[in-house]
Amino acid sequence: MLLVAALIALLLLGLPWGLVALAVALVLEVGEYFAWKRFLRRYRLRSGPETLVGRTATVVDDCEPLGRVRLGAEYWKARARVPAKEGETVRITGIDELTLEVEPDRP
């Protein structure tokens, strides 16, 4: 929006002052872009299945390699590369449709 105003100023003010207005508007627009980018980096969207990756879950049925885990109040099918016994804590490494890919959580 500021660039549009600067282009109008370029036409109305003539060459020397119009170019100054255009340059100032361009610098402000670039600064605003980076300020918003930095600000919004702190507020990433937190929804969808990708938010589960990295969380921990508790094994309900032995995962050898297929089993079930409890994540919060939900029960999920799980697949583990390394067998995990009932009661162990596992970390979610990925999601394949409705099956969580897990590995034992090592502190």
Tens digit of pLDDT for each residue in 53-71? Answer: 999 999 999 999 999 999 9
- The predicted structure's pLDDT at residue 107: 67
Q: Report yes or no: 66 and 46 within 8 Å, Cβ to Cβ.
A: no
Using 50, 70 and 90 to split pLDDT, how confident is the model at 98? very high
CA–CA distance, 103 with 78 (Å, rounded to integer): 10
- Are 8 and 54 found together in one domain? no
- Are 72 and 99 found together in one domain? yes
Residue 74 belongs to domain with CATH number: 2.40.50.140
Transcribe 35-78 into DSSP letters: HHHHHHHTS----SGGGGTT-EEEEEE-BSSEEEEEETTEEEEE
- The predicted structure's pLDDT at residue 61: 95
- Are 36 and 63 found together in one domain? no
User: What is the rounded average pLDDT of the residues 19-42?
Assistant: 88
| Number of structural domains the chain divides into | 2
- Are 85 and 60 found together in one domain? yes
Joined tokens for residue 50 = 């990708």
Domain span holding position 68? 49-104
CA–CA distance, 25 with 13 (Å, rounded to integer): 14
- The predicted structure's pLDDT at residue 23: 84
Q: What is the pTM of this model?
A: 0.58
